[in-house]
Amino acid sequence: MENHQHYNKRKRDESPPVPSSASQDAGGGVDLALLEAVEKSAQNGGVEVLDLRTLKKLVLAFERRLRDNLEARMKYPDQPDKFADSEVELHEEIERLKVLAGAPELYPELVALNTVPSLVDLLGHDNADIAVDVVSLLMDLTDEDVLGDDDDNEEAVRVLVDTLLENNALELLVQNLARLSEADPDEATAIYNTLSTIENLIEVKPAVAELVCERTKLLRWLIGRIKVREFDANKQYASEIMAILLQNSPTNQKRLGQMNGVDAVLQAVALYKSRDPKSEDEEEMLENLFDCLCCLLMPMENKERFLKSEGVELMIIIMKQKKSAYGSSIRALDFAMTKYPPACERFVDVLGLKTAFAAFMGKIPVSKKKKKESYQEELEERLISLIASLFGGILRGSRRERLLSKFVENECEKIDRLMELYMRYSDRIKAETERLDRLQLDDLEIDEEERYNRKLEAGLYTLQLIAVILGHLWSSDHSRMRERIELLLKQNKLTKKDVRCILQEYHDNIGDLDGPEEKERAQAKIQKFISAL
């Protein structure tokens, strides 16, 4: 899943109308506060250069306004009119600090001046508007545009991010979310900016993805946010942040599973079982939710939760409705059924075979947007993987008979289709092998591992799965199936030896990610097919 960058691309049309200063912060447009600061310094005799001296002046002014505000609040706790002016002045100083986003090389100095603890503390300020100002400032200071392509800038931003983390910025950012109300347009923008800041921190330091889930209640907040029925920009962004947190983290996948996250995501996608999203942004959110679901389906315990929450049934309903989530539901089923026989059994029991094999035969609903070959191809590959999982997960009994009978009905049309796909992927791998041989002749060093990976990228894994399915069909001792396979191989000037070679390469490259015993078991199964063929 890509980490989509947000505010340049993202439109805020669906969210509440946002007053000017907040919308400028969120939209990557002209920063009014920055312009004011430039104008003021121009009136004082030309634009000030952003250097250490300017930084110290800015920080000093900020600390002074902060002290004035704290003193006024302590002196007159019940008389807001007595500290209102100091709050306006503090707001102005926080806005002025935004100019520092143009000079990330000064961040280490900003840290050395001990300004970060003061800023972070303000996230808990009694006046939510001040906390909102700080969120906006932190978003600007950590924005990816600040990084640019300069390694020194990257290091400087990392120094700032580390200091923010040391001063509990994550905890305070998430605590602040809880008191913001989306009914207020400024606060709705602040929620968006908070998520943006968290994404920026993850960009700079990927470990933040697990830290923020460990130290805060962000996952819990995100679950609540995606459950809201109405679509808006913040719901979209919440789905994206959740996907980012889950994508490379088994720890977060398990953590969200324990919070009933599988059920929450299923509820969120269920809204689209018989209707399409109304806009591109809403469509992107639905894709994010399915990305979350597929990540959640990596750990075994979440596959069980998916089964209990009737996820298999929901995905089949979505496929039958042929709405825009059709392809995503096939992807989710593929994740759910990989190495998990109970999901395969449930799939057969709730009559999923008919729906899946209709898609396998090429009856895939195609909208204008999804006419692309790549979309069709991805679905084909998912369906091949899904059928291979069914064969691997259902080894005996009436379910196995129902699965095998699919390949005999209608004059063995499913075997014809399987061989058509076999030839397509086989030709592709042949072309890639020849290309790699030519590179080798041009003295380009390509080791065996690199060579194998390049072939996988060209579609070798799908070809291997087709060969595995052929192995299952052949081993079923069904004479009609065997005759059909032999006939089709002959027509394509191939023999069983060609299928054996593919299975052998697959056998030799099975990894031990699931432990040595599992590797042995998997290799023994493939060896059985090789012998049978």
Residues 97 and 103: beta-carbon distance below 8 Å = no
Domain limit, last residue, from 151, 175, 204 = 204
Q: Phi and psi at residue 178, in whole multiples of 5°?
A: -65, -25
Residue 328 lies in a domain: no
pLDDT of residue 83: 83
Residues 6+ apart with CB under 8 A from 362: 417
Residue 36 pLDDT exceeds 70: no
Rounded CA gap, 277 and 271, in Å?
Answer: 10
**Nearest residue to 407 via CA among 300, 482, 460:** 482
Number of domains making up the chain: 2
Per DSSP, the three-state class of 313 is helix
For residue 308, the surrounding DSSP H or E stretch is helix 300-308
DSSP state of 259: T
Per DSSP, the three-state class of 371 is coil
Helices (H), 143-184: 144-147, 151-166, 169-179
pLDDT of residue 145: 85
**Nearest residue to 247 via CA among 290, 218, 281:** 290
Rounded CA gap, 430 and 422, in Å?
Answer: 12
* Arithmetic mean of pLDDT over the chain: 89
Residues 55 and 106: beta-carbon distance below 8 Å = yes
Amino acid at 42: A
pLDDT of residue 14: 40
* Residue-level length of the chain: 533
Rounded CA gap, 325 and 319, in Å?
Answer: 8
DSSP state of 123: G
pLDDT of residue 16: 39
pLDDT more than 70, % of the chain: 90
**Nearest residue to 245 via CA among 284, 215, 277:** 215
Domain limit, last residue, from 169, 204, 239 = 204
Per DSSP, the three-state class of 423 is helix
Conformation bin of residue 17: beta by default, left when phi > 0, alpha when psi is -120 to 50: beta
Residue 283 lies in a domain: no
pLDDT of residue 245: 98
For residue 328, the surrounding DSSP H or E stretch is helix 326-337
Amino acid at 121: D
Amino acid at 365: P
pLDDT of residue 32: 61
Residue 79 lies in a domain: yes
Residue 254 lies in a domain: no
Q: What is the pLDDT of residues 417-457, one digit of tens each?
A: 999 999 999 999 999 999 988 887 776 777 888 889 999 99
Structural Rg of the chain based on CA atoms: 29
CATH number at residue 95: 1.25.10
317-326 mean pLDDT: 93
Residue 98 lies in a domain: yes
Amino acid at 380: E
Q: Quick one: pLDDT band at residue 511, thresholds 50, 70, 90?
A: confident
pLDDT of residue 446: 79
Q: Quick one: pLDDT band at residue 27, thresholds 50, 70, 90?
A: very low
**Nearest residue to 361 via CA among 428, 409, 294:** 409
Q: What is the pLDDT of residues 86-140, one digit of tens each?
A: 899 999 999 999 999 999 999 999 999 999 999 999 999 999 999 999 999 999 9
Residue 68 lies in a domain: yes
| Containing structural domain, residue 469 | 409-532
Residue 13 pLDDT exceeds 50: no
Amino acid at 236: Q
Domain limit, last residue, from 185, 204, 223 = 204
pLDDT of residue 5: 34
Residues 108 and 154: beta-carbon distance below 8 Å = no
330-359 mean pLDDT: 96
Residue 358 lies in a domain: no
Residues 6+ apart with CB under 8 A from 253: 246, 295, 296, 298, 299, 302
Residues 247 and 291: beta-carbon distance below 8 Å = yes
Rounded CA gap, 500 and 188, in Å?
Answer: 60
